[in-house]
Amino acid sequence: MIIKKHIYLSIRILLTLSMFFVGIFFYNNLPNIIPIHWNINGQIDRYSPKNIAIFIFPIITLIMVIILRLSQYIDPKKARYETFKKEWEIMQTVITAFMVYIYFIIIYLSLNQSQKIEPLLFIGMGVLFIIIGNYLGKIRQNYMIGFKLPWTIANEDVWNKTNRLGGYMFVIFGIIFLLEAYFLWNSAYVIFLFMLLVIFVPIIYSYLLYKKIKK
């Protein structure tokens, strides 16, 4: 009954535990130094001893799960979370799943260092943005997630319309990631351009909308 009531939290905990299990399972097969960071061109530019990297990523993910879970209780607008409770639970779970996915990529590429990270990373990013984009428009005013701007916090209608537009932009950005995973068209420039659009189009739109409402 408790698990059913907290099904999404249970999934997040299981996902995080899977990182520990997978890391321990592959530990002896991994090189002593494993890649943990890639530059904008997809080249490895940072390594870490495996005895640190294999355990630090699951620990960071576990801390993130706890922080996201507790954040709604310290949010000044915590009462609003009841209006999008399911959406917030799903988003937390998807973010956790993405962290697990990145961890699995690191292990896979540690065992197959000739493989490129971009296709694998872009697939994960694409799915992440598409799912979050589908729920972003249902998120109501809060200080944790969404387009938190002075004018969206000041006006609920501006918040709702801005995050709805942001949700559409996220979905489009996610599709771009999936296309890049296959075609790899000057990925760094394409991703950077669309990232700017995803950030600034909703911001500009929300400001203009707020000014219009205040007239």
Query: What is the tens place of the pLDDT at every residue in 8-56?
Result: 999 999 999 999 999 999 999 999 999 888 887 778 888 999 999 999 9
Percentage of the chain with pLDDT > 90?
Answer: 80
pLDDT in tens, 70-107: 999 999 999 999 999 999 999 999 999 999 999 999 99
* Cβ atoms within 10 Å of 200's Cβ, excluding its own: 11
Tell me the two tokens of residue 55.
């355990």
Chain length of the chain: 215
Question: Is residue 106 a contact partner of residue 57, using CB atoms and an 8 Å limit?
Answer: yes
* Cβ atoms within 10 Å of 69's Cβ, excluding its own: 15
Task: Return the amino acid letter for 121.
Answer: L
Strands of the chain, DSSP E: 33-38, 44-49
Q: How far apart are CA 79 and CA 145, in angstroms?
A: 14
- Residue 200 CB partners (closer than 8 Å, separation 6+): none
Task: Return the amino acid letter for 145.
Answer: I
CA distances from 125 to 94, 195, 198, 201, 209 (A): 11, 12, 14, 20, 30
CA atoms within 13 A on the CB side of 92: 28
Q: Terminal CA-to-CA distance of the chain, rounded, Å?
A: 52
Residue 4, pLDDT > 60, answer no
Concatenated DSSP letters of 190-215: HHHHHHHHHHHHHHHHHHHHHHHHH-
Q: Is the pTM of this model over 0.75?
A: yes
Residue 1, pLDDT > 60, answer no
